[in-house]
Structure 1
């Protein structure tokens, strides 16, 4: 014979106990160089708790609504007087931008960090918006990481 119904689950409108701590975090480096206008696919994954970051696409897909922190550092491959722009995107919308300028040096960094509210299925990624990104090794000069701060 079944017992009484349990408390609501953590779905929409559900109850999440204060002791519940979701485990969602990732950290990945960039092995391959990129240039032009494309999503950066950080393919050297060090940490991917929950497997919500997909290295083949370069995108993090939100599994649980809440507040998240993301940071990125992108090393420009310079030496030719150009600049590089890197944008953090949420569902195709720019949420943070950074620029590295080649001012008589071969390399420069573009970095930024954000705190965003995400809903289930939202995608977060870094998009190159012109310029050249250093890659080609496992030193992790260019990185992308994120984690949940707290769920809704």
Structure 2
């Protein structure tokens, strides 16, 4: 004897009173309740508290590099130079880099080989001097500020005819200070237009 049991599960949709704002749906034996958050529960994404929190975040000042901040950060004096050595030098003398590629602000003088500060601040300088060897000698190159050595480099003629002497510095300069590269013995190679020996610098932060 077969017994067939037919169970019909109604789908009910009930709406709670309007003043509570809550409603629930009866779907078979599963009841889904949707309630607005009360004061004791954390605010949802669309709540007033969440909107106010987002507004507070938006009230903060934009970072320096957003919406024009980049141009504002570099709106100070523009000072930079990059020069090369055309003619060879030797002995003990200031290297006069006579191949001027960049001289923004015209603070470098190719006739004297010196950079003269006109804007007080922090500067970066670097130099790379190619030694003319072949005779077993060495070459020393110093970066000087007002006659005082601030960086030194040496190139030695061991197994090759050419070697580099390089160094870099970060210096604070006052108006009128002079920075240059001076040979302290040996031979510096000039490269016509090839720029084997170079000297460069730029302003990092004005005072």
Return the TM-score normalized by structure 2: 0.64
Q: Does 1:25 align with 2:89?
A: no
**How big is the shift at 1:19?**
6.3
Aligned to 2:156: 101
**How big is the shift at 1:137?**
1.1
Return 5+ residue gaps in structure 1 as ranges.
1-16
Higher RCO (C-alpha under 8 Å, 6+ residues apart): 1
> 142, 157, 165: which one pairs with 1:87?
142
> How many residues matched?
136
Is the helix fraction higher in 1 or 2?
A: 2
Q: How does 1:115-134 map to 2 (within 5 A)?
A: 115-134=170-189
Q: Does 1:41 align with 2:104?
A: no
Q: Secondary structure at the match of 1:73?
A: strand
- Structure 1 outlier segments of 4+, above 2 Å: 17-20
Q: How does 1:113-152 map to 2 (within 5 A)?
A: 113-152=168-207
Q: Which has the larger radius of gyration?
A: 2
User: Take 1:37 and 1:112, find their aligned partners in 2: how far apart are those partners?
Assistant: 18
Return 5+ residue gaps in structure 2 as ranges.
1-71
Q: Does 1:78 align with 2:133?
A: yes
Query: Contact 2:90–2:183 at 8 Å: present in 1 too?
Result: yes
Query: Contact 2:191–2:197 at 8 Å: present in 1 too?
Result: no
**Structure 1's 18 and 106: CA in aligned 2 closer, same or farther, altered over 3 A?**
closer
Deviation string 1:51-80 (CA, Å, 9 cap, x unpaired) is: 000001000000110000000000000000
